[in-house]
Amino acid sequence: MRAEAALGGILVGAILLLLLANVVSRSAGRPLIWTDELAVHLMVVLALVGASLGIAMKGHMAIGLLPDRLGPRGRAVLALLADLSVLAFLLVMAWILWRWFDLPGLLRAGSGAALAEQSFNFVYTDPTNTLGLRKIWFWLALPLTGVTALIHCLAALHQDIGALRA
């Protein structure tokens, strides 16, 4: 959790510096067009890291009307159901990512270009517009934050079960 918070802070600082560099370069008449694209990609990564961190801190939005009316056991059951819903969502996302990244297909094809040629899956070859990088380097944040979110969710489920037993 601390590593995610530190990464989030670094990403916020990097985005701020990129936007500042963009403003200064545009006012000097020599815009750095790649700063916009990099800032957008980093914002997406930041959102994914923040979502995982939100699961760890139980910091996502919630409506307190029902839990406030329940007793301790009812709140524990409701928390368990909410965390099971998050787990179900994460498992569906894992399945979607497995199909999208298609590691078995990539290994069979031998390269991202061959995979794209065989299956029209351009996940490994699609370039960014101005950076000259492949988007896969940014998309790898999806499985990484999916794993960290899953770890946080399993820890929350462990706490929920402990609360129900107590």
Taking the alpha carbons of 15, 20, 25, 31 in that order, is the dihedral positive or negative? Answer: positive
Tell me, what's the pLDDT at 24? 95
Mean per-residue pLDDT for 81-101? Answer: 96
| Single pTM value for the model | 0.87
Tell me, what's the pLDDT at 104? 95
Tell me, what's the pLDDT at 13? 97
Domain segments of the chain as ranges? 2-165
Mean per-residue pLDDT for 10-24? Answer: 96
